[in-house]
Amino acid sequence: MTLDDLQDVRELLKGVGGVLRYEAVYVSNCSSTQDLAASLVKQGYGEGLVVIAESMDSGRGRHGRKWFAGPGGLWFTLVLKPPKLSNVQLLSLGAGLSVAKSLRTLYGLNALVKWPNDVIVGGKKISGVLVEGKSDVEVFILLGVGVNVNNEIPNNLREKAISVRELTGHPTPRTSLLVEILKNIEEIYTNVLRGESSEVVNQWRRLTTTLGCRVKVVTDEGHVEGTAVEVMEDGALVVEDATGMRHRIYSGDVFHII
Ligand code: BTN
């Protein structure tokens, strides 16, 4: 299969944004789209820049983990410059939500979000989101999105990860998926900027696998075990432990306990 569907994305994205004026930069390979986007911002690119790579040599995931990014996947970083950085956590939840909604709309997949922003289908991860903030010259957010589309999943990840191609049974064009995700992100970004947090959180609640589950959350400070009872309008996960104490968690890895 020729994986050339992303190369013409520059023209296509011009008509997609409203508030966000999307501008695409496509490269066949880079170390990480996060780093390339950061250096392009330093060169003068602004909000709405979308850096897309066919493959990345040093793709990264949350908590400094390596993100495998071979050809055929959808790997991109969107640059945002919100006037204030107050609700980045909610934006991060909203990005995962945007991917889940897009996979549902385009392919009818039962995509769900796992706090904070993993997208899961049939218990396996299909997409992850990495949000990084930089304030070198001015504040900007790098919203990194990775979706397994037509890429090969390495053998050691096959138990935990899945791709759109495996689920639909055929190779899938990535441009339509990218456009749908960017439309959904713009809608959520607008909600967040207007302070309409409940709109985003309510949508997230409807599509999550996390709430109501017994979970172990591993954070930098240690771990919390209990039931995931709520997600707050600032994006925090609330876990109630065996003593009835409620813990608000802003960053960590959730493991569902069966
Ligand atoms: C995670 O689930 O740990 C987050 C994965 C985020 C991967 C994306 S792919 C595009 C962007 N560039 C990177 O180096 N990482 C993010």
Instruction: Judge whether 25 and 1 are in contact, CB under 8 Å.
Output: no
**What's the CA-to-centroid distance between 233 and ligand 1, angstroms?**
24
| Residue 101, ligand 1, Cβ within 6 A | no
| Residue 34, ligand 1, Cβ within 6 A | yes
| Residue 56, ligand 1, Cβ within 6 A | yes
- Residue 166 structure tokens: 């495996």
| Residue 96, ligand 1, Cβ within 6 A | no
Q: What integer pLDDT is reported at residue 137 of this predicted model? A: 64
| Residue 130, ligand 1, Cβ within 6 A | yes
**What's the CA-to-centroid distance between 146 and ligand 1, angstroms?**
5
* pLDDT tens per residue, range 53-82: 999 999 999 999 999 999 999 999 999 998
Closest residue CA from atom 9 of ligand 1: 146
| Residue 128, ligand 1, Cβ within 6 A | yes
| Residue 73, ligand 1, Cβ within 6 A | no
* pLDDT tens per residue, range 128-184: 999 998 776 677 999 999 999 999 999 999 999 999 999 999 999 999 999 999 999
Half-sphere exposure of 229 (CA within 13 A, CB side): 13
Q: What integer pLDDT is reported at residue 139 of this predicted model? A: 79
Closest residue CA from atom 7 of ligand 1: 146
* pLDDT tens per residue, range 10-68: 888 888 888 899 999 999 999 999 999 999 999 999 999 999 999 999 999 999 999 99
pLDDT-derived band at 2, boundaries 50, 70, 90? very low
* 134-140-142 Cα angle (round to 5): 75
CA distance 129 to 148: 12
Q: Which residue has the tokens 């996060």?
A: 34
Residue 146 CA: nearest ligand 1 atom is: 9
CA distance 113 to 209: 6
Q: Which residue has the tokens 């599509």?
A: 207
| Residue 68, ligand 1, Cβ within 6 A | no
Site to substitute for ligand 1 among 31, 54, 67, 162, most atoms within 8 A of C-beta: 67
